Amino acid sequence: MSPEPASGQLTPDDVVLRESTPDDTLVLDTFSSHEVRSEHDYYDDDDLGDGHRGASRSGSRVISDAAGAVLGRVTFHQVAYGPNRRSLAWRIGVTVLPEHRGRGVGARAQRILADELFATTDAWRVEADTEVDNVAERRALLAAGFREEGVLRGARWRAGARRDAVMFSRTRSDA
């Protein structure tokens, strides 16, 4: 049961942010408790025993044809949605050489990479983001079995301007 919310109106001066001091130690030590963290932010010992401690794996693969010629490249790295290993997802990226675009290479490569990440790790989620007007990548991701999730406002900075991105994912439970 959560305690009742505190009541009373705040004035603008009632909440400030400051550095912690040694005098805060007793209170800060309670921040790992279930009571303080509450349901949505509490990880028990089993969860934390499997922690990633900020370690992030990454890698890349060449996209090639059957004869070994380079068609492009895919990349992948882990992003953390929580402190434990099961809260890690894979974020992937892709570049197809200009002369090989529009033949299904990008879609195929991203499908294969997601399949491989699901097969070789226990990750639940593979995700990819792209700028909202990157129609080719949006369509390639859909063709690779990803689902569109929503807009990440101003997430990217490129060519002197903020760009909205759109997030896609495939999860282990997707058909």
By the criterion CB under 6 A, which residues form the site for ligand COA?
93-96, 101-107, 130, 134-137, 139-140, 143
The whole-angstrom separation of Cα 116 and Cα 170 is 12
| Shortest distance, position 95 Cβ to ligand COA, whole Å | 4
Q: Which is nearer to ligand COA, 84 or 130 (CB)?
A: 130
| Shortest distance, position 55 Cβ to ligand COA, whole Å | 25
3-state helix, strand, coil in the chain (%, to 5): 35, 35, 35
Helical (H) or strand (E) element with 35 = helix 34-37
Tokens 């932010």 label which residue? Answer: 41
In the bound state, the residue with its beta carbon closest to ligand COA is 106
Q: Which long-range contacts (CB under 8 A, 24 or more apart) does 26-34 make?
A: none
Q: Which is nearer to ligand COA, 61 or 101 (CB)?
A: 101
| Shortest distance, position 123 Cβ to ligand COA, whole Å | 20
